[in-house]
Structure 1
Amino acid sequence: MAFLGMRKWPTPVLKPMWPFLTASLLTFYLVGKMQAAGVRSPEYANNPKNPYAEQIAREQAHH
């Protein structure tokens, strides 16, 4: 008999979801790296619309 919908043994959540969680983390990391590489590319580094242009200019001035 179930008490308020609770079972005697809980339904596993993380065990069947690990491939999706791993793929999500990997995708999030790789998209972030691609965005950083795209923003710092020479074509867009000096673009006035680039929100990181000032930061990139400061980093390039130190080198």
Structure 2
Amino acid sequence: MAFLGLRKWPTPVVKPLWPFMAAGTITMYLVLKAQEGSVKSEQWRNDPRNPYAAELAKSSLH
């Protein structure tokens, strides 16, 4: 007998959603790598809007 629509056993949540979680993790990783690559590119290296400009200038001196 169901009480207010609840069953005796829990409904699985993680098991059917693992492909979506894995795909989300892979997508976030690839977006992070693309962003890092574009921020460190020659085109944006000396742009004053680049938040990593000071760090890149310091590392390019070595």
TM range, normalised to the smaller chain?
0.7 to 0.9
TM-score of the aligned structures, taking structure 1 as reference length: 0.87
Which consecutive unaligned segments of at least 5 residues does structure 2 have? none
| Structure 2 Cα separation of the partners of residues 16 and 57 of structure 1 | 47
Aligned to 2:25: 25
2:47 counterpart SS class: coil
Structure 1 residue 9, shift from structure 2 partner: 1.2
2:6 counterpart SS class: coil
Structure 1 residue 60, shift from structure 2 partner: 1.3
- Between the two proteins, the alignment pairs up a number of residues equal to 62
TM-score of the aligned structures, taking structure 2 as reference length: 0.88
Aligned to 1:39: 39
Aligned to 1:16: 16
Structure 1 residue 38, shift from structure 2 partner: 0.1
What's the C-alpha RMSD, in Å, of the aligned pairs?
Answer: 1.2
Which consecutive unaligned segments of at least 5 residues does structure 1 have? none
| Structure 2 Cα separation of the partners of residues 32 and 5 of structure 1 | 42
Aligned to 2:52: 52
Report sequence identity in percent: 55
